[in-house]
Structure 1
C-alpha cells in the first residue's frame, strides 16, 4: 500500500462497511486477494483502477451479491451474511453496472420501476404508502426523470433508463449507496448532475461508493480506492499527493493529476 491510510479528524466513528482479509472468486477463478477497507458515514469513496482490477467484483461483494471465499464483510459491525434480506435491502441500495435491470422490468412504467426501490419498506402485497409515493417522486425529480414517469422502461434511451434506475436506488433512502459505473450512457451535463447527487448523498450523512472509469469524476469524491490485480494498492483522500502518485502509477504513468480551475483532473502525458 502506498502511503498510510488517513481519516479526517471528524470521522472517528466505527466504519459502516468494513472488509477484512477478504478473498473472492468468480467460479473457480480467484479475483480478490486479501482486501481490507473501512468506509465511514458521510464519505464518498470512488474505486478506480485498470480493467480487470476487480472493482466491480468488490462492489458486488459489498452489496452482498457475492460471498467471500475468506475474510469478513461487515455492515454496521454485523457480518453482512447475517443481515435479514429486507433489513439489508433497506440499509443498502445498489445500482448495477450498465443500468442492468430485471428484463421483466422493461414493460414497467418508469414510475413503477422507481417504486421497486420502496419494496423493502412495504408489507407483503401492501399498496404503496404516501411516504413511498413521496420518495419515488423526489427520486425521479432528483434524476430529472419525472417527465417520462408514465413511459415504459423499454421505450427509454440508454441515458433515460440509467436515470430511472438511479432513481430506483435513491428511492430506497438507504444509508449506504453503491453505484457501479453510474455515469454510463449519460451525457456530460447529466454526468455532472449524477456526481452532484453523490456529493449530496454523502453530505446528508450516507456512505457512498462508486466505481468509475472517468478519473476526473472519481477525483471529485472524498476518497479514492486504487486497485490492480484484485488488490487494494492505496486508500486515501482525493487531494493527497500519495493518492495522486498511486493513481498515476497504476495507469503506468501515462497520466498526471493536476489542479485546474479548483478541481483535480487527470491529463494524458
Structure 2
C-alpha cells in the first residue's frame, strides 16, 4: 500500500455562517503530483490552505494528517520542515534582496539566531538556479517584475527541501516558457520522491500531473489519474462541456469546445 502524504476526513470550512467546504474526504499519495482544478469559487484554494493548516479566518472542522501524523499535533517548526508552501500574493519583505528572501526557506532547519550553514547556502543557490532567478539574487524584491518575484518565491519554497510542497496558483505572472520550466520543476520534485499538490487554472498544465482532484461548490467531484477517461469526462462536465480533453502528440490537452 502506497504511503499517503496528506489525508483529510470530513473537512469542513465556513466563514460567518457561509459554508466553503462540505465534509471533504481525501487521500493524496506520496511521491506523486496532484493538481486541484475546478471553476471559480469551487473551494480549491480554501482546501489547499486547510491542508497546510493556514486557513486562519474560517472555522475549520475535520481531521487532517501529514505523512501519517495529525497536522494539529505538529509544532510550527516541524510542520515547516515537512511541508513547503507557495501561496497567492505572498507577503514578503520588499526591501530584502532575493537571496535573503530564499534563505527564509531554510529557517525551519536552523536553530534560533544561528547563522546559515554551508548546507543552507547550497540549498538556496540550487533553488535560485532551478527557478532561473540567480542573476538577480542581490536585487530587492521591490525591484522585480511580477514574474521575477514569483520565481524568487518559488525558490524560497524549493529551498525548504520539504517532502511535501503545496502551491496555490504557482503560474501567476509567469510567461509560457517559465510555465514550462515550472512544469519540469514539479516533475523533477516527484522524480526525486517528493509530493507536489498544486491549485492550477491552466488545465492543460494540470493534466500533466499524475492525478487530478476536481472540485465544484466546495466538494470533490472526482479524484483520479490524469490519463483516465473517467477523469477527462469529469473535467469536461465540471466546466459545463465548454472544454474538450484531447491527446495531441502524446500530450493530454484541454481545448475550447467550438
TM-score (norm 2): 0.97
Q: Look up the SS of the partner of 1:16 in the other structure.
A: strand
What runs of 5+ residues in structure 2 fail to find an aligned partner?
Answer: none
Q: Which residue of 2 aligns with 1:15?
A: 4
- The partner residue of 1:266 within 251, 254, 257 is 254
Q: Which residue of 1 aligns with 2:105?
A: 117
2:128 touches 2:152 (CA, 8 Å); kept in 1? yes
Alpha-carbon shift at residue 35 of structure 1 (Å): 0.8
Query: Cα gap change, 1:30/1:110 in structure 2, threshold over 3 Å: closer, same or farther?
Result: same
What are the within-5 Å matches in structure 2 for residues 37-186 of structure 1? 37-66=26-55, 69-98=60-89, 100-102=90-92, 105-186=93-174
Structure 1: how far apart are the matches of 2:163 and 2:16? 31
Structure 2: how far apart are the matches of 1:29 and 1:40? 30
Query: Cα gap change, 1:28/1:216 in structure 2, threshold over 3 Å: closer, same or farther?
Result: same
What runs of 5+ residues in structure 1 fail to find an aligned partner?
Answer: 1-11
Alpha-carbon shift at residue 13 of structure 1 (Å): 2.2
The alignment yields a C-alpha RMSD, in angstroms, of: 1.0
Structure 2: how far apart are the matches of 1:138 and 1:148? 14
Q: Give the number of aligned pairs.
A: 255
- Structure 1 stretches of at least 4 aligned residues deviating more than 6 Å after TM superposition: none
Structure 2: how far apart are the matches of 1:148 and 1:228? 40
Q: Which residue of 2 aligns with 1:240?
A: 228
Alpha-carbon shift at residue 72 of structure 1 (Å): 0.6
TM-score (norm 1): 0.93
Structure 2: how far apart are the matches of 1:95 and 1:180? 6
